[in-house]
């Protein structure tokens, strides 16, 4: 008798929030001013973080800059549909190291909603993390993205 094996893929991390800013401002704050709301303690540099940059074009880099001018790659832009959607390639592996061959996707959608914008966030392809990373790292990422996106919400609301 053949024994079946099951492979369970981790569910994408999904977050939905409402910001007071219109879609154009909400998009600009998220993708054009990430360094203003990204938690400075979430840095991979040896130097304190000065900025987080997403170059606004397909193929653009996603990286952080330290106060000493050093840079650390996080990923790249896969799709850029301002001001409604962006798709980013997250290339930080389970050890928080940039790996050009490691790829998960972060998609952000912006839709007018009443007096503001509905922002839908999804980090998917988490099966790319090895089992050790998935068992703890991915769970922590879900909580981490929630806290990070709260900082974004506050920054976007301040732009309304």
Quote the CA–CA distance of 59 and 86 in Å, as a whole number.
12
In percent, how much of the chain has pLDDT > 70? Answer: 90
Residue 147, pLDDT > 80, answer: yes
* pTM for this prediction: 0.91
Mean of the per-residue pLDDT values of the chain: 91
Which residues span the domain enclosing 112? Answer: 28-158
Is 18 within a domain? no
Q: Is residue 8 part of a domain?
A: no
Is residue 3, in this structure, part of any structural domain at all?
no
**What HEC string does 41-100 produce?**
CCCCCCCCEEEEEECCCCCCEEEEEECCCCEEEEEEEEEEECCCEEEEEECECCCCCECC
Asked whether residue 14 is domain-assigned, the answer is no
What is the mean pLDDT of the segment spanning 75-80?
98
Q: Is residue 12 part of a domain?
A: no
The reply to whether 49 falls in a domain is: yes
CATH number at residue 54: 3.30.530.20
| Per-residue confidence (pLDDT) for residue 8, from 0 to 100 | 63
Number of domains composing the chain: 1
Dump pLDDT digits (tens) for 85-101.
Answer: 999 999 999 888 999 99
User: Are the C-beta atoms of residues 29 and 159 closer than 8 Å to each other?
Assistant: yes
Q: If pLDDT is split at 50, 70 and 90, which confidence band does 9 have? A: confident
**What confidence tens digit (pLDDT) does each residue in 97-127 have?**
999 999 999 999 999 999 999 999 999 999 8
């Amino acid at each position: 008798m053949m024994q079946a094996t099951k492979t369970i893929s981790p569910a994408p991390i999904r977050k939905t929030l409402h910001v007071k800013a219109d879609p154009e401002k909400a998009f600009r704050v998220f993708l054009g001013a990430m360094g203003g709301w990204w938690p400075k303690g979430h840095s991979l540099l040896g130097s304190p973080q000065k900025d987080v940059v997403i170059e606004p074009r397909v193929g653009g880099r996603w990286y952080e800059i330290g106060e000493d001018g050093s840079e650390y790659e996080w990923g790249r832009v896969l799709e850029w549909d301002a001001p409604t959607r962006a798709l980013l390639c997250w290339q930080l592996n389970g050890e928080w190291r940039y790996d050009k061959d490691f790829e998960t996707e972060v998609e952000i959608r912006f839709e007018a909603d009443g007096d503001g914008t509905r922002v839908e966030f999804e980090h998917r392809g988490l099966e790319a993390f090895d089992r050790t990373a998935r068992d703890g790292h991915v769970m922590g990422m879900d909580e981490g993205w929630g806290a990070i996106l709260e900082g974004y919400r506050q920054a976007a609301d301040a732009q309304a």
